[in-house]
Amino acid sequence: MEIPLLQIDAFTSQAFKGNPAAVCLLDQAKPADWMQNIGAEMNLAETAFVVPRAETGHYDLRWFTPAIEIPLCGHATLASAHALWETGRLSEAQEAHFHTMSGELICRRQGNLIEMDFPALIAEPATLPAAAVEALNIKPVNVVCHRRKDGSDGNFLIELESGTAVRNVKPNFYLLGKAANAGFIVTARGDSNYDFVSRYFACYAGIDEDPVTGSAHCMLTPYWAAKLGKTEMNAYQASARGGEVRVRLAGDRVFLAGEAVTVLRGNLLC
């Protein structure tokens, strides 16, 4: 039986920019080990698996890196919504409701943009592990951390002195993978075009540098909203591919918006 599979560049209007995600459109749920094997085969930051529910417009959604299943992913959610509209599974007037490990996530079209409704991730002051300081070779201005539900460190957010400092970070990925079972966001105030810039490293999940990370902006948005006194901002993730994210903070929710481009359509044969 052939299973539709799309590769979509998210948070960009141009092919080969933004963050690529594979989207697997299933008729029914598959075992986790099968999905993990597909994630490893695709070898992208994330592969999304979409399964329809009985209620129109509602889907179960799971995300796998080449190494692990993760609880929240922005770019592969945006790509999943794009795939549903593009393949006609949803009309563009319909919202996409995804049921995930992080609760219900809602996507809607706003012209060329896809807006996603995500939970805000609030961080607490933290000390960066010494191994991470060595691996990143940076001088932090401020460090905070969002903790997982079990109390363990999730993502560290590290503010640097400038956007240039963010772009110039050259991690030792081997050391960073050993520093903590966590991701590392480096960020700074932006320039005239962007309110803030960032990069994201997730060696613990099998991803050295993620090109554009929606879930990281769930932390970045409340952090920079408090610093800048703004609830709506334009952000840029300064990876080699690069990508733009429009963000809006509304209470305990973060709205992330961006474009998407399909670059590949095919079928899984296994």
Q: Among 190, 130, 129, which residue's Cα sits nearest to residue 159?
A: 190
Cα separation, 12 vs 38, in Å, equals: 24
Q: What's the confidence (pLDDT) of residue 150?
A: 84
- Is residue 248 within 8 Å of 231, Cβ to Cβ? yes
What's the pLDDT at 50?
Answer: 98
Do 124-251 and 3-119+257-268 have the same topology in CATH?
A: yes
- What pLDDT, on the 0 to 100 scale, is given for residue 101? 95
pLDDT score recorded for residue 151: 78
Ranges under pLDDT 50 in the chain:
none
2, 46, 95, 115: the active-site residue: 46
Q: State pLDDT tens for residues 99-121.
A: 999 999 999 999 999 999 999 99
Measured from the Cβ of residue 90, the count of other Cβ atoms closer than 10 Å reads 20
Q: Which helix (H) or strand (E) holds 49?
A: strand 46-52
Predicted confidence (pLDDT) per residue in 135-144, tens digit: 999 999 999 9
The fold of 3-119+257-268 is Diaminopimelate Epimerase; Chain A, domain 1 (3.10.310)
Residue 211's SS3 state is: coil
Quick check: is 69 catalytic?
Answer: no
CB 253 within 8 A of CB 119: yes
Specify the CATH architecture of the domain 124-251.
Roll (3.10)
